[in-house]
Amino acid sequence: MKYRMLSLLSIILVLSIKSMEISAKDYHELRIMVNAIPPSPYAPQIVPLILENELDSIVYQLAQANGIKERYIGQNDTINSEFIAYEKLKDLATEEDLNGLLLHDSPIVKVYAYRALLVNEMDMNCDVETALFLDTTCLDWYLDEIPTASTVGEMVQVPFQE
C-alpha cells in the first residue's frame, strides 16, 4: 500500500514539474514572439525574463488585445485600455521604434504603430507602408461593442477617431 502511494505521489510530482516547464517555455516563446524580449541563445529557455522597458510592456499589451478598438466603446462611452496603451505608445515611441513595429508579428500592433506615425507626423518607410496597404491579415475592429471583421490593409486606410 505504501509503495503504491509513493509511486502515485512520484507520478503526480513528475507531471506537475513537467507541466510547469512546458508553460514556462510557452510563456518565454510568447514574449519573444511579441518582441517583448530579445531572442538570445544564451538566455535560459524556461526562465522568463522581465520586460526591458515601458515600451516593451505597451507593445506586449497591444499584442494581447483581441482587436482594434476606437477611443470610446460601449453605451457609457468609456475609454478602453487598448486605446490608453495606444496613446502611451504614441507618446513614448520614437520614429525608429514605430517603423520597426510596422514589421511586428501582431497585426494589431502594426495598425496602432501606423496610426501613431500618422498622428505624430513622422516619416514612414514607404516600402513597409505599401506592404501594409496590401496586407490581408484578418483582425477585429471594435467601432461599437460588436466586432467587425477587417484586414490590416483596410484598417490603415480607414480614418480613426482621435
Q: pTM for the whole thing?
A: 0.65
Contacts of 34 (CB under 8 A, 6+ apart): 59, 60, 63, 64, 104, 105, 106, 109
Give the residues across from 138 on adjacent strands: 151
* Residue range 74-119, pLDDT digits in tens: 666 667 788 888 889 999 888 998 998 898 889 999 999 999 999 9
- Helix and strand counts by DSSP (H, E) for the chain: 7, 5
